[in-house]
């Protein structure tokens, strides 16, 4: 199948999955609504309006700049975890450690922001780099265990998420919490550690958003324009072929997981310094799990990660508005993500349509080859 038709199939498949997810959401909203059929219909339409239009349009009309900035701000951490997951999944490494990685990155950057005596401009950069390095080292563990001992990177990274979470909770509870505050949190960050706001309207849209977009381009160039990126993708397609071709499979597997860790750690650092003034995460934030959905929506292509992240962040904001104004539970977003994930992961979903595209491409190629051979014979 040609590259153009392959992209077309991916787009159609994605839109179909999204449409089915919205249809399921509509049905659930209708079932949960109270009153007569007419009342249920009215409540469902109002809820869908908040879900699909609310993040962009105010109730009284006009563009809602604040809501859109909230959406863009919410994209920041899931762009990073989406990129991390893309890199690791491209090597066929089902590492789920981005969830614990972004939490560890946030924690390490918070420690640097509190205790490192560095000037403005240097401190946030140092904090983010320290966060990236810490999570990169963390991801060495499942990578090396996979290469040296054949340990499942999925199980290892999943367990490490909880090791990281409970270790951070222990350190925060026992040594690092500010006892003068009413809840468990660290001391406040130094003022010079904050990442400046891109738009100061209360949305917490920091310059980290620009950094995330730039990094998406950089990772795309790395994956599709460098030798190492090519090796990562080839190992993901056929590991045996890559090995017989002379590629250092073990090294590339470890590289893909460490690179994913660096990205997740950067995301945690940038999210913390751009949004908060202290650290208080006591549970896994969920950004890593959402990053898996983003990577799947993007087809493991870093270029499409910001668009997939925008879609998920937009739905999150829509569900929040729907919960506030229509009484629909916010957890509906989990249902939407689960349905989208299900249909993207199902290999046979729209397989008939894909087969038709393959047959059509083959026929066109044979026809073109026949015409070329006739022309050369003349």
Residue recorded with tokens 């090995």: 243
- Give dist(CA 365, CA 359) in Å, integer: 10
- Give dist(CA 181, CA 278) in Å, integer: 11
- Total-model pTM: 0.88
Domain-embedded: residue 335: yes
Q: Which of 183, 188, 207, 189 is nearest to 197 (CA)?
A: 207
Domain-embedded: residue 277: yes
Q: How many domains does the chain fold into?
A: 1
Q: Which of 13, 128, 28, 94 is nearest to 257 (CA)?
A: 94
Q: Which of 268, 357, 260 is nearest to 305 (CA)?
A: 260
pLDDT tens profile 221-264: 999 999 999 999 999 999 988 888 888 999 999 999 999 999 99
Asked if pLDDT for residue 266 goes beyond 70, the answer is yes
Q: How far is CA 298 from CA 40, 222, 266, 330, in A?
A: 35, 16, 20, 24
pLDDT band of 16, cuts 50, 70, 90: confident
Q: Which of 85, 70, 22 is nearest to 294 (CA)?
A: 85
User: For residues 344 and 177, which has the higher predicted lDDT (pLDDT)?
Assistant: 177
205 DSSP β-pair partners: 199
pLDDT band of 23, cuts 50, 70, 90: confident
- Give dist(CA 264, CA 286) in Å, integer: 12
Instruction: Look up residue 107 and give its two tokens.
Output: 């924690």
Domain-embedded: residue 370: no
Domain-embedded: residue 365: no
Indicate which CATH number applies to the domain containing 129. 1.10.3470
- Give dist(CA 209, CA 215) in Å, integer: 10
> Rg (Cα) of the chain, in Å, rounded?
23
pLDDT tens profile 278-304: 999 988 889 999 999 899 888 889 999
Instruction: Look up residue 312 and give its two tokens.
Output: 């998920």
- Residue 142 pLDDT: 95
Asked if pLDDT for residue 66 goes beyond 60, the answer is yes
Instruction: Look up residue 378 and give its two tokens.
Output: 């003349």
Asked if pLDDT for residue 58 goes beyond 70, the answer is yes
Domain-embedded: residue 361: no
- Give dist(CA 98, CA 77) in Å, integer: 11
In the chain, the N- to C-terminal Cα span, in Å, equals 30
- Residue 201 pLDDT: 81
Domain-embedded: residue 159: yes
- Give dist(CA 261, CA 93) in Å, integer: 13
- Domain containing 91 equals 3-356
- Give dist(CA 144, CA 166) in Å, integer: 23
Domain-embedded: residue 298: yes
The average confidence (pLDDT) of the chain is 88
- Give dist(CA 309, CA 260) in Å, integer: 17
Domain-embedded: residue 273: yes
């Amino acid at each position: 199948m040609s590259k153009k038709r392959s992209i077309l199939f991916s787009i159609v498949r994605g839109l179909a999955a999204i449409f089915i997810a919205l249809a399921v959401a509509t049905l659930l909203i209708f079932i949960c609504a109270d009153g007569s059929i007419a009342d249920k219909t009215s409540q469902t339409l109002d809820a869908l309006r908040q879900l699909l239009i609310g993040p962009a349009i105010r109730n009284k009309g006009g563009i809602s700049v604040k809501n859109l900035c909230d959406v863009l701000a919410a994209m920041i951490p899931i762009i990073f975890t989406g990129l991390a997951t893309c890199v690791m999944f491209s090597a066929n490494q089902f590492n789920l450690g981005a969830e614990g990685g972004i939490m560890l990155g946030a924690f390490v950057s918070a420690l640097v922001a509190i205790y490192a005596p560095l000037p403005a401009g240097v401190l946030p950069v140092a904090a983010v780099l320290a966060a990236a390095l810490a999570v990169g080292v963390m991801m060495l563990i499942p990578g090396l265990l996979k290469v040296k001992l054949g340990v499942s990177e999925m199980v290892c990274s999943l367990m490490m998420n909880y090791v990281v979470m409970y270790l951070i909770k222990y350190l925060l509870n026992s040594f690092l919490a500010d006892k003068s505050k009413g809840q468990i949190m660290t001391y406040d960050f130094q003022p010079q550690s904050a990442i400046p706001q891109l738009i100061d309207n209360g949305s917490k849209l920091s310059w980290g958003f620009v950094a995330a977009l730039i990094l998406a381009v950089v990772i795309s160039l790395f994956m599709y324009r460098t030798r190492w990126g090519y090796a990562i993708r080839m190992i993901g397609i056929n590991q045996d072929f890559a090995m017989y071709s002379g590629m250092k499979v073990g090294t590339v597997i470890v590289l893909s997981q460490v690179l994913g860790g660096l990205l997740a750690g950067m995301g945690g650092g940038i999210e913390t310094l751009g949004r908060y003034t202290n650290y208080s995460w006591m549970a896994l934030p969920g950004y890593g799990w959402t990053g898996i959905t983003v990577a799947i929506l993007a087809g493991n292509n870093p270029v499409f990660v910001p668009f997939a992240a925008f879609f998920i962040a937009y739905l999150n904001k829509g569900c929040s508005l729907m919960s506030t104004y229509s009484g629909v539970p916010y957890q509906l977003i989990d249902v939407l993500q689960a349905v989208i994930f299900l249909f993207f992961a199902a290999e046979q979903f729209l397989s008939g349509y894909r087969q038709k595209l393959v047959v059509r491409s083959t026929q066109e190629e044979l026809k073109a080859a026949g015409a070329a051979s006739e022309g050369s014979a003349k």
